[in-house]
């Protein structure tokens, strides 16, 4: 009874995972299709080798069991088998050569966007402790949610404002690091409208796990509207995506101190100084923000978060 229950528990997680839990997420961009192809080729070889080796092991354990012989009896001794040794050297060499060939064929399609792509959308992805900031060609910015047109090549410049992060949307692109002082490049082309989820893949500080990202792909006209709506709600997204990680969604406090009764929220100069420069444990979360971003945060904090100054002494 107990083993059956344990087995059911152990397999439930695997069954609940999207595709048996053994394979990458379903690809929704040409480059991830190529990544998955490489994965399945290697899985094919390693799977076959696993089955052959483990079957042989089980077979030999059973076939050559001691059958009551004394422990001290020596087995049959064999020296030199040139043909066998050549065979078991050549087969792995051939397998590795096939895998390497497949990888070298697939790699250019994974790393580089198709040269034929007509006017790709260029987006800068900036990693911050602990959020993602996206810069669009028209000068707008969004936080944590990246809006893209479906079916269009999106070229990403991946940078960091502080420490090393890793940009990864498993259905759209492989991992690429965001490294301070360096620009890395990746791309994707979402093949259908929808929301694709990702998470910073490099341990980057106490709130690494809060660095979630979404890519929202929609037809071109919808994409433009969604991006504009996000830009108008920038202050809200900044508070919820940046400040709330440590200070709570209502500014009630958490890892960082409570803000809701702090009159600093109503003073642009003071708030801007802290956001840009950090203070104590707080990182300079807004060190790359433009004036519009600071204004948006001040507006939102003043009107939605500030609950009036606390009266000292109760
Ligand atoms: Cu950024 Cu982990």
Alpha-carbon distance of 295 to 56, in angstroms, equals 69
Q: Tell which atom from ligand 1 comes closest to the C-alpha of 129.
A: 1
Q: What is the pLDDT of residue 108?
A: 86
Q: Tell which atom from ligand 1 comes closest to the C-alpha of 178.
A: 1
Q: Tell which atom from ligand 1 comes closest to the C-alpha of 163.
A: 1
Question: Cα(143) to centroid of ligand 1, in Å?
Answer: 15
Q: How many CB atoms lie within 10 A of CB 128?
A: 26
Question: Cα(149) to centroid of ligand 1, in Å?
Answer: 26
Write the pLDDT tens digit of every residue in 34-79: 999 999 999 999 999 999 999 999 999 999 888 888 888 887 888 8
Question: Cα(177) to centroid of ligand 1, in Å?
Answer: 10
Q: Backbone phi, then psi, for 149, in 5-degree steps?
A: -80, 140
Question: Cα(127) to centroid of ligand 1, in Å?
Answer: 8
Alpha-carbon distance of 193 to 140, in angstroms, equals 22
Q: Tell which atom from ligand 1 comes closest to the C-alpha of 208.
A: 2
Question: Cα(200) to centroid of ligand 1, in Å?
Answer: 4
Q: Is the pLDDT of residue 281 over 90?
A: no
Q: Tell which atom from ligand 1 comes closest to the C-alpha of 205.
A: 2
Q: Is the pLDDT of residue 314 over 50?
A: no
Residue ranges lining ligand 1, Cβ < 6 Å: 127, 165, 200, 202-204, 208, 211
* Residue of 266 and 216 predicted with greater confidence: 216
Q: Tell me if 266 sits within 8 A of 297, measured CB to CB.
A: no
Dihedral of CA atoms 103, 107, 110, 115 in degrees, nearest 10, equals -140
| Helix (H) or strand (E) segment spanning residue 272 | helix 268-277
**The dihedral of CA 141, 230, 167, 151: what is its sign?**
negative
Write the pLDDT tens digit of every residue in 156-196: 999 999 999 999 999 999 899 999 999 999 999 999 999 99
Question: Cα(299) to centroid of ligand 1, in Å?
Answer: 28
Q: Tell which atom from ligand 1 comes closest to the C-alpha of 166.
A: 1
Alpha-carbon distance of 38 to 282, in angstroms, equals 42
Q: Backbone phi, then psi, for 194, in 5-degree steps?
A: 155, 180
- CA-wise closest residue to 21 among 30, 10, 31, 7: 10
* Residue of 122 and 13 predicted with greater confidence: 122
Question: Cα(105) to centroid of ligand 1, in Å?
Answer: 31
Question: Cα(186) to centroid of ligand 1, in Å?
Answer: 18
Alpha-carbon distance of 31 to 186, in angstroms, equals 10
Residue 1 exposure: Cα atoms within 13 Å on the Cβ side: 0
Q: Tell which atom from ligand 1 comes closest to the C-alpha of 165.
A: 1
Q: What is the pLDDT of residue 17?
A: 53
DSSP class of residue 191 equals S
Tokens coding 295:
């204004």
Question: Would you call 138 helix, strand, or coil by DSSP?
Answer: coil
Q: What is the pLDDT of residue 231?
A: 87
Range with the lowest mean pLDDT among 95-109, 150-164, 269-283? 269-283
Q: Tell me if 246 sits within 8 A of 282, measured CB to CB.
A: yes
* Closest CA to ligand 1's atom 1: 165
Q: Tell which atom from ligand 1 comes closest to the C-alpha of 164.
A: 1
Q: What is the pLDDT of residue 313?
A: 41
Question: Cα(117) to centroid of ligand 1, in Å?
Answer: 31
| Helix (H) or strand (E) segment spanning residue 165 | strand 165-167
* Residue of 254 and 183 predicted with greater confidence: 183
Question: Cα(293) to centroid of ligand 1, in Å?
Answer: 22
């Amino acid at each position: 009874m107990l083993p059956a229950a344990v087995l059911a528990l152990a397999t439930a997680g695997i069954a609940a995972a999207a595709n048996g839990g053994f394979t990458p997420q379903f690809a929704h961009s040409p480059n991830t299709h190529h990544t998955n192809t490489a994965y399945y080729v290697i899985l094919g070889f390693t799977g076959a080798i696993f089955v052959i080796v483990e079957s042989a092991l089980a077979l030999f354990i059973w076939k050559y069991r001691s059958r009551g012989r004394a422990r001290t009896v020596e087995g049959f001794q064999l020296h030199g088998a040139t043909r066998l040794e050549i065979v078991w050297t050549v087969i792995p060499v051939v397998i590795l050569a096939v895998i390497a060939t497949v990888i070298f064929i697939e790699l250019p399609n994974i790393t580089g966007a198709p040269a034929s792509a007509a006017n790709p959308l260029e987006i800068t992805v900036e990693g911050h402790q602990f959020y993602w900031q996206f810069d669009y060609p028209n000068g707008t910015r969004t936080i944590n949610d990246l809006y893209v047109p479906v079916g269009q090549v999106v070229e990403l410049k991946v940078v960091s404002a502080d420490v090393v992060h890793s940009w990864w949307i498993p259905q759209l692109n492989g991992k690429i690091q965001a490294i301070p002082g360096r620009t890395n490049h990746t791309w994707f082309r979402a093949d259908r409208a929808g929301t694709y989820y990702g998470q910073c893949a490099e341990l980057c500080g106490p709130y690494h796990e809060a660095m979630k990202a979404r890519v929202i792909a929609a037809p071109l006209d919808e994409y433009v509207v969604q991006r504009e709506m996000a830009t108008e709600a920038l202050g809200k997204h900044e508070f919820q995506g940046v400040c709330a990680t440590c200070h709570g969604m209502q500014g009630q406090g958490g890892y960082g101190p409570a803000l809701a009764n702090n009159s600093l929220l109503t003073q642009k100069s003071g708030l801007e100084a802290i956001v840009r420069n950090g203070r104590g444990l707080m990182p300079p979360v807004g060190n790359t923000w433009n004036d519009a971003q600071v204004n948006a945060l001040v507006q939102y904090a003043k009107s939605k978060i500030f609950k009036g100054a606390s009266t000292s002494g109760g």
